[in-house]
Amino acid sequence: MSVVVLISGRGSNLRALVEAGLPVAAVISNQASAAGLAYARERGLGTAVVGHAGYARRDAFDDALAAEIDRFRPRLVALAGFMRILTPAFVRRYEGRLLNIHPSLLPAFPGLHTHARALAAGVKVHGATVHFVTPELDHGPIVIQAAVPVLPGDAEDALAARVLAQEHRIYPQAVRWFLDGRLVLETGVVRVADPDARQSVLATE
């Protein structure tokens, strides 16, 4: 019942998953310099690097990435700051067991630069979302969200820090629900099968 985590950088959400006691078996990155790999090695976790620059085609990279993932036979693949757009074939391969954490209240602000865009739009509430991955970028079924207020005079860095703190709360919760078999996908909507968890799918600061 293990988890493979994919990262591209510092791996702060990886740390949150490991420190929550979740069964992370391995960490894979497309960047050999990713700081999260050093953390994983310190914790005795399996690590691998699949550098995307070595592949001329996106599908070839995804095939190599899948081969590394499958060596660990994970029940779940968790994207944690993995900065690559995955092909539909890769997503289908792990359909129903591929989660992502995104720094906005989806469907608002998919893609990059979410905090700057939220400030520019003048929204009063921002946050983070854990969702199942589908071929459409940042549009998969939502598992859990956390909301934070946008404060008067907020700077991008300050808002990002408050959102990140919530990411570290909700990603371990979503992964734990998945591993416990509590996440049920019904016509594109996620239901948490534990009545006690129903009130926890929207976390607030």
In degrees and rounded to multiples of 5, residue 77 shows phi and psi of -115, 125
Pairing of strands 142-149, 24-29: unpaired
CA distance 200 to 88: 31
Maximum alpha-carbon separation in the chain: 49
Q: How far apart are CA 195 and CA 63, in angstroms?
A: 39
Which of 52, 102, 131, 139 is an active site residue? Answer: 102
Q: How far is CA 177 from the centre of its chain?
A: 14
Structural tokens at position 149 = 């207020």
**Residue 102 appears among annotated catalytic residues:** yes
Q: How many angstroms separate the CA atoms of 160 and 146, rounded?
A: 13
C-alpha to C-alpha distance for 57 and 60, rounded to whole angstroms: 5
Residues marked as catalytic: 102
